[in-house]
């Protein structure tokens, strides 16, 4: 049996969709059913359920609020992933958890590899970097997957915000000095599953192919939906946000592509599929 934590989020939702398509049995839990910050509760939950794989999709993702919520951010992003690794080790299950491009400072001008040193600029990034380290130290049958700018049909995300902004405004200003790769959560689930099947444990990068600034991403979404307003380029310094963002944090996914033997699809293709899904929900 597969256990999915954080099942109501974007990635958790798409793992369920993927497993339904593949007719694979799973248990989907969110914090109401299973609080991952309570190790004894997790231990009790898994005891009689014959769990063979734990997929941790739960996380604290509010990057700006994390600057004042350090304790809960670390609980969810560092210590809970470690505790799940401890439990996975106790029951002999495989384990996968997720990290972020926010572990890097953005000073590099070429895509970040798994060998690059982490240097986070925010509490959120620090908590994720600590979580990676703790998990990899705790259990050798763990996958830690870094990803970037995730969007999907479940919950809120940047693409949905852009579409909502466009409904009430004829002019938008979006930063062009933050560059990474938007990643479709269904692709993240699908290619994570391909990775899990290899049993080649360790640290991996998984984001859609290509790179974009927030401005490029916004332009692609708005052009796709036929918005006829004015889109302006802005700078991060124009917005007084509590957490600092990296200027460049594109992840190099070649290690993962080599292991699974598949080239990852582009971020534009991911947005195309996302918009089709969104239309289906309206």
Cα gap 12→87, rounded to integer Å:
20
Contact (Cβ atoms closer than 8 angstroms) between residue 104 and residue 249: yes
| Strands (E) located in 148-248 | 150-151, 171-175, 179-180, 183-184, 202-205, 212-213, 230-234
Q: Which of 124, 139, 220, 248 is catalytic?
A: 124
Question: d(Cα 155, Cα 168) in Å, to the nearest integer?
Answer: 20
3-state secondary structure 29-83: CCCCCCCCCCHHHHHHHHHCCCCCEEEECCCCCCCCHHHCCHHHHHHHHHHHHHH
Taking alpha carbons only, the member of 243, 140, 152, 139 closest to residue 190 is 152
Distance CA 150, CA 206 (A): 11
Catalytic residue flag (residue 124): yes
Place of tokens 């997790």: 42
Q: Which residues are catalytic?
A: 124
């Amino acid at each position: 049996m597969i256990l999915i934590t954080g099942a109501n989020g974007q990635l958790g939702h798409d793992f369920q969709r993927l497993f339904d398509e593949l007719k694979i049995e799973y248990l989907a839990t969110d914090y109401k059913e299973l609080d991952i910050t309570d190790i004894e509760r997790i231990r009790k939950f898994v005891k009689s359920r014959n769990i063979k794989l734990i997929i941790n999709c739960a996380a604290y993702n509010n990057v700006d609020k994390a600057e004042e919520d350090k304790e809960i951010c670390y609980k969810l992003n560092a210590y809970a992933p470690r505790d799940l690794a401890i439990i996975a080790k106790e029951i002999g299950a495989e384990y996968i958890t997720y990290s972020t491009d926010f572990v890097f400072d953005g000073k590099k001008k070429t895509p970040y590899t798994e060998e690059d040193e982490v240097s986070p600029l925010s509490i959120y990034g620090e908590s994720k970097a600590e979580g990676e380290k703790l998990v990899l130290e705790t259990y050798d049958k763990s996958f830690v997957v870094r990803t970037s700018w995730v969007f999907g049909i479940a919950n809120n995300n940047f693409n949905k915000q852009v579409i909502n902004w466009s409904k009430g405004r004829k002019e938008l200003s979006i930063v062009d000095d933050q560059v990474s790769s938007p990643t479709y959560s269904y692709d993240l689930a699908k290619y994570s599953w391909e990775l899990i099947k290899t049993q080649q444990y360790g640290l991996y990068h998984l984001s859609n192919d290509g790179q974009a600034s927030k401005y490029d991403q916004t332009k692609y979404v708005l052009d796709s939906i036929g918005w006829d307003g004015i889109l302006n380029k802005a700078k991060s310094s124009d917005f007084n946000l509590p957490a600092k963002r990296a200027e460049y944090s594109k992840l190099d996914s070649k290690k993962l592509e080599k292991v699974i033997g598949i080239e990852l699809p582009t971020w534009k293709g991911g947005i195309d599929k996302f918009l089709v899904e969104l239309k289906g929900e309206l």
